[in-house]
Amino acid sequence: MFSRYTTELDSERPSFHNIFTVPSGGSFQSIKTRAIVEHHGDDSGAGRWTCSKDPRMPNCVHIHKARDTLQKYVLSDSRATDPKASTKSLIYNNSGR
């Protein structure tokens, strides 16, 4: 799921507040297992990403999924991904969990 709000503090640099609901753990369960990912920034994926489940982790798996979702939306391509997020996800996975 994906909700978008526009915050036009500066019309030359449009900024968005996006809210993503990302399933947690890969299994379909109740809403309580979902992570809420918020993005404040522009359509390139730049800006600040926060996750309700991992408040101290700037690039957790939920944010990775949300970044891909944003690119699917921006590019109108269901197979789009955010290459920057993929790179960071590898770092995240290699760091041990």
Query: Residues interacting with Zn ion, by CB under 5 A?
Result: 35, 51, 53-54, 60, 62
Nearer to Zn ion, 53 or 88 (CB): 53
Kindly state the smallest distance separating residue 85's Cβ from Zn ion, in Å: 13
User: Please, which residue, 52 or 81, has the CB nearer to Zn ion?
Assistant: 52
Residue 18 CB partners (closer than 8 Å, separation 6+):
2, 3, 4, 5, 38, 39, 66, 70
CB of 60 to Zn ion, least distance (A): 3
Please identify, using beta-carbon distances, which residue of 9 and 91 lies nearer to Zn ion.
Answer: 91
| Residue found by looking up tokens 């730049």 in the block | 46
Least distance in angstroms from the C-beta of 50 to Zn ion: 9
Alpha-carbon distance 23 to 21, whole Å?
A: 7
The rounded distance, in Å, linking the Cα atoms of 18 and 72 is 14
